[in-house]
Amino acid sequence: MHPDRAAHDPSPARAAARPGDGPEEGAWYPCSWPDKFTPVAQFLLQGGKVLAVTLTGDAVQAKNGSMVAYDGQMAFKKMSGGGEGLRGMVTRRITGEQLTVMEVKGQGTCYFADRAADISLVRLSGEKLHVEASNLLCTEAALRTGTTFTGVRGAAQGSGLFTTTVEGSGQAALISDGPAVVLRVGQGTPLQVDPGAYVAHTGDLRQSFQSGVSFRTFMGEGSGEAFQVRFEGDGLVYVQPSERNTLGGEI
């Protein structure tokens, strides 16, 4: 943990908070932070399923309705997904994606969680993160989000041909059903992923559609072929220990 962050841990999860054993006033809160502190949202995981974001006047974007609690002053603003401007409008039109994002701005600590999903923090420094729209919980204001065409995997998932991209420098929080496993794909070690377990990827990766997996069983049950996504190149793939329901990916 970053030493600065440890010192200003805004929210001691399960702190001893019995009456008479109360916390020292002001020990954790941003109001006691030095003036020279630059307003950058601090992301901190609370036990894997709750994200605490400390704001000092700056803003983050988060999945709509994912706020579970906050202290201090917060303002919420509805935003539409797909990025800003004309491009965002066009992609929204094409994808039909009702990406509901809210902007949270204020002073204090805001806690985010979504249906007990596990959260992974990703720190980006200039590269691009591809993520299923439903798996993105929160991004720093400095990051740009957009939509890209990914074709292949989308087809297998039947959930549209587009995924969300996050670009820039800053932190993003991903959610997954169960803690995500991060797998490195390198030269000579391509990776096959069940489309229902795919969460996100970064790096220079080529995706291809693999349907060479057959189930020949009695009476033709499951004679439909299972789809997998093959990642080749150099990068990281996030998978979750769970499968969304997919039409393909029967294994």
Partner 1 sequence: MSGPTGPSGPAGPGGPAVFDFHTLPSDDNVNPYTFCVDLHGQWFLQKGKMIAYFGQISFNGIGHGPLDRLVSGSFHSPLHASDWVVAEGQGKMLLADRAFDVNSYDLEEGNLTIRSGNLLAFEPTLSLKQSIIPGFLTLIGTGKFVAASNGQVHFVEPPVRVDPQALVGWADCPSPCHHYDHQYMRGVMGGVRALTGLGGASGEEHQFEFSGAGSVLIQSTEVLMPEQATGGVPQQAGGPGGGQQGRSGQPGRTGGQTPRMPGQLGDLQRRFGL
Partner 2 sequence: MPFHEINSKLVEARVVPGQRLFSQRGAMIAYRGEVSFTPNRASGQGGVMSMIGRRVAGEAAPLMTVEGNGTVMFGHGGHHIQVVELDGDTLCVEADRLLAFDGSLEQGTMFMGSQGGVMGMVRGQVTGQGLFTTTLKGRGSVAVMAHGGVLELPITPGRPVHVDPQAYVAHHGDVRNKLSTALGWRDMVGRGSGEAFQLELSGDGAVFVQASEEKL
User: Site map for partner 1, 192-211, x if CB under 8 A?
Assistant: xxx-xx----xxx-------
Backbone angles phi and psi of 6, in degrees to 5 = -65, -40
Q: Residue 223: name its binding partner from partner 1, partner 2, none (Cβ under 5 to 8 Å by kind).
A: partner 1
Across 238-250, b (16+ Cβ under 10 Å) vs e yields bbbeebbebebbe
Residue 122 found at the interface with partner 1 (CB under 8 A): yes
Binds partner 1 by CB under 8 A, chosen from 181, 209, 210, 232: 181
Across 39-78, b (16+ Cβ under 10 Å) vs e yields eebbbbebeebbbbbbbbebbbbbbbebbeebebeeebee
Q: Which is nearer to partner 2, 72 or 203 (CB)?
A: 72
For the record, the structure tokens of 129 come out as: 């993160």
The stretch near partner 1 (CB under 8 A) out of 15-23, 105-113, 133-141, 232-240 is 232-240
Paired with 250 in beta bridges are none
The stretch near partner 1 (CB under 8 A) out of 54-62, 83-91, 140-148, 234-242 is 234-242
Backbone angles phi and psi of 94, in degrees to 5 = -70, -50
Q: Which is nearer to partner 1, 93 or 123 (CB)?
A: 123
Distances (CA, A) of 104 to 75, 78, 220: 6, 9, 53
Q: Residue 50: name its binding partner from partner 1, partner 2, none (Cβ under 5 to 8 Å by kind).
A: partner 2
Binders of partner 1 in range 24-53 (CB under 8 A)? 44-45
The residue ranges that bind partner 2 (CB under 8 A) are 11-15, 17-19, 22-23, 25, 29, 46-50, 64-71, 73-78, 102, 111, 113-117
**Distance (Å, rounded) from C-alpha 55 to C-alpha 109?**
6
Half-sphere exposure of 112 (CA within 13 A, CB side): 33
**Distance (Å, rounded) from C-alpha 133 to C-alpha 10?**
28
Binds partner 1 by CB under 8 A, chosen from 127, 144, 148, 209: 127
**Minimum Å distance from CB 248 to partner 2?**
28
Q: Which is nearer to partner 1, 38 or 217 (CB)?
A: 217
E strands along the chain, which residues?
Answer: 42-46, 50-63, 67-80, 100-112, 118-131, 136-140, 144-149, 162-176, 181-185, 191-193, 198-213, 226-239
Residue 187 found at the interface with partner 1 (CB under 8 A): no
Residue 142 found at the interface with partner 1 (CB under 8 A): no
Contacts with partner 1, residue ranges (CB under 8 A): 1-2, 44-45, 118, 120-127, 177-186, 189-194, 196-197, 202-204, 212-224, 226, 234-237, 239-243, 245, 247, 249-251
